[in-house]
Chains A and B, each alone.
Chain A
Amino acid sequence: MKTLIWVEHDNASMKDATLAVVTAAAKLGEVHALVAGSGCASVADQVAKVDGIATVHVADDAALANGLAENVAPLVAGLMDSHDAFLAPATTTGKNIAPRVAALLDVMQISDILSVESADTFTRPIYAGNAIATVKTSDSKLVITVRGTAFDKAATEGGSASIEAVGGASDAGTSAFVSEEIAKSERPELTSAKTIVSGGRALGSSEKFEEVITPLADKLGAAIGASRAAVDAGYVPNDYQVGQTGKIVAPEVYMAIGISGAIQHLAGMKDSKVIVAINKDEDAPIFQVADIGLVADLFDAVPELTSKV
C-alpha cells in the first residue's frame, strides 16, 4: 500500500504532530509525505530527514499558504490517484482538511485512530473514549486521522527521502484567510509536553490562574492546560482546553488542579502516565483515575508545592 501523509507545518518548520502519523502510516505501507504550503522548501528538507519516508511531495503555491481546506482538499484528492491511503494528524488542521478529502473521494473517514489492526481495520475511541470501536472499512481508498498520543513519534533523523515538486494547486475562490492570533510561548506544547499542569474552574479568575498555576508550571518546565470550565470563564485561551473536544494529551505527569474530572475532561488526559489530583472535595471523580491524590484547598497546597519542588 502507498500512503500519503499530511505534514503539519507553518511554512517554516514541521510540527511534531506529523511524526506520529508517519509511524501509523508505516504500518500500512510505503510512506509518502505531502508538504503543502507557500515558501515551504525548508519544511520539505526537514521532512526528508524523518526516518521512514520514501518521497516528499512539495506543493508550493500562494493558494496553499494558510492551509485552507477548500484549496488543499482538491490537491490531495488528485494525489490520491496514485496513493491508497491519506493520513493526517487529528489536529484542528487535520480535522478540517481530511473529511473534505474523504467526501471528494466518496469514502468514509476513519477518525482519530488508536491502532492499525490490519490494512482495513482500525480501532478508534467513541463516546468520549468510554468505548473503543474496532472498525473495518470497505472503501478502496482510506482517509484517516491519527491520534497523536497513540503512536510513537518517528525519528527526525536518519531518513533521506527524495523531494518532488507537485503542481496543480489553485484557489477555489470560496474562502480567504483574514488573520491569525497565535500566542508565542516559551513553554512546551501541550500535546508534546512531558509534564502538564492543568487548572479548572476552582481557580476563579485569570489573575489567580496566573498566580497559582503558572509558577508551578515554570518550576516543573511544564505546559499549562485547563478544563473547559476554566476556558469558558476566560481564565486561559481556548487552545489550553484538554478533553474530548479539546486537546488529547498523554504526558509523563498530568496535574489536575481544581478540576472535578468530568468524563469529557478525562477523555483528554486519562492515558497520562502519572495523574496527580489536587481537589478539596474528596469525592471528586478525578480521584478515581488519579495515581496520587491530595485533598486540600489548592490556594494553600499549590503555592506550598511550588516552593517545595
Chain B
Amino acid sequence: MRRKVQFMIVQMEGNDMKILVPVKRVIDYNVKPRVKSDGSGVDLANVKMSMNPFDEISVEEAIRLKEAGKAEEIVAVSVGPQKAQETLRTALAMGADRAILVNTDEEVEPLGVAKILAKIVEEEAPQLVICGKQAIDDDSNQTGQMLAALLGWGQGTFANTVELDGNSVDVKREIDGGLQTVKLNLPAVVTTDLRLNEPRYASLPNIMKAKKKPMDEKTVADYGVDITPRLTTTNVSEPPVRQAGEKVADVDALVEKLKAVGAI
C-alpha cells in the first residue's frame, strides 16, 4: 500500500510536468540603442540581437527543474520574425527539448503575445509557464501577468527562488521592500528576476545537437487570435542628454563643490 502511494507521487512530479518558456528576440543588452532621426523608432538595422536576458534566466530555471527530476519536458516559444529561430535555437542549445516559432513580422504587443501564448497553453497543457519579468526593448513588464489573467492561473512575478512541489509552487518574489513568498496552485505562471539563477552558456556539442531538435513553425492565424495593436507609437525621441560636468582634483575640492550646489 505504502509503496503504491510513493509510486504515484513520483508519477505526478515526473511525468506530467511540462514547462513552457516564452523567449523574445531583442536588442543585445550591451548595445546602446540609437533613435532614428525621423522619430519613427529605434534603429535595429545591423544591430546585434540576442535572447532577452530575463528569458535566458527562465530557460535556465526550467532546465534546472528538469535536471532535478521535477520536470519532464521544456518547450520554448517565440512570437516574432523568422530570425527568432536563432533565439529558439539558443534555448534548445541550453537544454530546452523543442521549440515553437509563431512567425510574424508584425510587432505584437504584450496583450497579443499573451493571447497567443494562452492558445498554445491550451494545446500543450503545461503545468508551469516561466516568462521573463520584462523585455528589455519595450520594458513593458506585462506579458506574464496578462497570460495568468487570461488563463485564470496564479502568478509568481519577479521570482528570486522557485520551489516546485507536486501540486504547487512556492515563489519567493523580489518586491520593493524586500522579499515575499507566495504559494501557487499548479498550473501557474512565474516571471523571472535577475537573482533567480545564472544562465549557462550553451556548449558547442549542445549547439550541434540543438540543430536536430524539433522546431514547429506556426502563424498567428493558426491560433485565430486578433493581434491588432491597441497602441500606436506616434513618435520616438531621444531623452534629454545630460551634459558631463567637471572633474575635481581631490576630496577638498569635492566638498567645496557639494557646498556650492547646496548638496551638503
Contact = CB atoms under 8 A, between A and B. Distances in A.
Interface string A224-258: 00001001100001110100110100001100000
Centre residue among B27, B152, B182 by max chain A CB count within 10 A: B182
A68 B41 CA distance: 36
B238 interface: yes
Interface string B101-133: 000000001110010000000000000000001
B78 interface: no
Contacts of B144: 99
A131 B255 contact: no
Contacts of A99: 110, 141-146, 149
A93 B175 contact: yes
A296 B194 CA distance: 30
A107 interface: yes
Contacts of A175: 154-156, 182-185, 188
A108 B33 contact: no
Interface in A184-211: 191, 195
A100 interface: yes
Interface string B156-186: 1110100000000010011111111111110
B139 A138 contact: no
Nearest to A295: B247
A204 to B, nearest CB: 19
Nearest to B157: A96
B176 A100 contact: no
Contacts of A97: 145
Contact of B254 (A133, A179, A252, A276): A276
Contacts of B195: 231-232, 238
A92 B191 CA distance: 12
Nearest to A174: B154
Contacts of B140: 109, 111
Contacts of A1: none
A131 B35 contact: yes
- Chain B's interface size range is 35 or more
B148 A100 contact: yes
A309 B258 contact: yes
Contacts, number: 265
A100 B174 contact: no
Interface in A93-146: 93, 95-104, 106-112, 121, 125-139
The SS class assigned to the A binding surface is mixed
Given A93-B176, A292-B257, A309-B258, A174 B185 contact: yes
Interface stretch (B11-19, B62-70, B209-217, B225-233): B225-233
Contact of A134 (B33, B182, B233, B252): B233
Given A99-B149, A292-B257, A92 B175 contact: yes
B10 interface: no
Interface stretch (A20-28, A43-51, A154-162, A282-290): A282-290
A278 B55 CA distance: 33
A290 B176 CA distance: 26
Contacts of B251: 294, 296, 301, 304-305, 308
Given A100-B145, A127-B33, A138 B232 contact: yes
Contacts of A70: 148, 154-155
A264 B181 CA distance: 27
B201 interface: no
B248 A292 contact: yes
Q: Which 5 A-B pairs have the closest CB atoms?
A: A291-B245, A103-B149, A99-B145, A99-B142, A103-B146
6 contacts: A100-B146, A112-B139, A134-B233, A175-B184, A175-B185, A238-B179
Interface of A: 66, 68-70, 73, 91-93, 95-104, 106-112, 121, 125-139, 172-183, 191, 195, 220, 228, 231-232, 237-239, 241, 244-245, 247, 252-253, 263-264, 270, 274-276, 282, 287-296, 301, 304-305, 308-309
